[in-house]
Structure 1
Amino acid sequence: MDASATHASAGMDTAPPLAAAGAEPRTPTVLLRELIVVSDLFEERMRRHLTVNQTDLEAMEHLLTSGPLAPSELSRRLGISTASTTVMVDRLVALGHVTRERHPTDRRAIRVVPTKSSAAEAMSVLLPMIGDIDAVLDGFTAEEQDVITEYLRQVVDVYRRHAEPPVGSN
């Protein structure tokens, strides 16, 4: 259903803001927006499954993709204070999602490490979804997959550019 049909079905007499501005997005753009919304719903499912909040889930994502991290690195990546990171790590330890371990080469340093059981729990939800997405690609030729990949790469670049504040702004 396109944006104007959705708007009309909601019983509104005026055009949606994008259409009123003469910027009716094309179907792939509408579908990308829908993907973002569904991704948010999937993240909510992950938060409920792991019994964590948004910041905890973001920390777990960093730990699962990057491996063990120093608390200061988690603070930097999450954009939160070291005090907030300590509270968050305490919460994740209490839930059994992470442990604090000494760094293997610098015994004074501590690393936050995801537990095997927590990683398995997260992967039990993630891997079926990733597999299903990859299976969709199997329905396309190699050339079509190349086009899809290039389109998505360019879309990601556009999002990155627009996610950064303009130069000179706060």
Structure 2
Amino acid sequence: MPDPRDRRRATTEIKGALRALSLQLTLLDRQVSARVSLKDVDLDCLDLVNRDGPLTPTALAGRANLHPATLTGILDRLERAGWIARERDPSDRRAVRIRALRDRSGELISLYAGMSSSIDAICADYTEADLALLTDFLTRATTAGHAAAQHLAVPESEG
């Protein structure tokens, strides 16, 4: 019969490894944002727009767990620096969508290239089944992190 203490120990090690990874990725992002003269939160929002965009400001504020007034300043900085464009939604001329400008995406790709190459090398050591398991775990952990952040978010009426 498996020892429950071994399982708890393994789970604790995974949690510790995730925290360490989170810290290292935060430090990497901090270096990247400094290189391109962005605030950390600006880079986070740009990443969301690159990944999920085009987005309305309301949708972006929700995904970033930011108050809309805070997001306005972030979008102003990103637009001035040439990272994003605010465009009218063709289906609703009153609505605005935020779109990442691809002209500068090469800067970010080159700054993350070292980490990307390292991940490629790490993944090369795993089987397809291992990679599927890791993808499932990381996807589920990401969903859990999102839910935890949503739970802690201050409702707009209180903020």
Give the TM-score normalised by the residue count of structure 1: 0.67
1:56-114, Cα deviation, whole Å (9 max, x unpaired): 11210110101211112222222323222222211111111111111122222211111
Give structure 1 stretches of 5+ with no counterpart: 1-22
Partner Cα distance (1:30, 1:43) in 2: 20
Contact 2:89 2:97 in 1 (8 A): yes
The residue type paired with residue 31 of structure 2 is R
Contact 2:84 2:99 in 1 (8 A): yes
Q: Aligned partners of 1:45, 1:29: CA distance in 2, in Å? A: 24
Q: CA deviation at 1:24?
A: 10
Q: Distance in 2 between the 1:75 and 1:161 partners?
A: 16
**Distance in 1 of aligned mates of 2:35 and 2:146:** 29
Structure 2 unaligned runs (5+)? 1-8, 153-157
Aligned counterpart in structure 2 of residue 53 of structure 1, from 29, 35, 39: 39
| Equivalent residue for 2:27, pick from 41, 55, 61 | 41
Letter in 1 for 2:45: A
Partner of 1:111: 97
> Cα 1:25–1:139, aligned 2, differ >3 Å: closer, same or farther?
closer
Q: Larger relative CO (CA 8 A, sep 6+): 1 or 2?
A: 2
> Sequence identity of aligned pairs in percent?
26
Partner of 1:72: 58
Bigger drift between 31-40 and 94-103 goes to 31-40
CA RMSD between the two structures: 3.0
Q: 2:48 maps to which residue? A: 62
SS in 2 for 1:109: strand
| Distance (whole Å) between structure 2 residues aligned to residue 37 and residue 158 of structure 1 | 17
Is the Cα–Cα contact under 8 Å of residues 65 and 150 in structure 2 kept in the other structure?
no
| Equivalent residues in 2 for 1:1-150, closer than 5 Å | 27-149=13-135
Deviations 1:148-170 (A, max 9, x none): 4455456556656655649xxx9
> Aligned to 2:38, what secondary structure does the other structure show?
coil
Using a 3 Å threshold, how does the CA distance of structure 1 residues 112 and 25 change in structure 2: closer, same or farther? closer
Q: 1:139 to 1:97 in 2, by over 3 A?
A: same
For residues 154 and 103 of structure 1, what CA distance do their matches in structure 2 show? Answer: 33
TM-score, L = length of structure 2: 0.71
Three-state SS of the structure 1 residue aligned to 2:112 is: helix
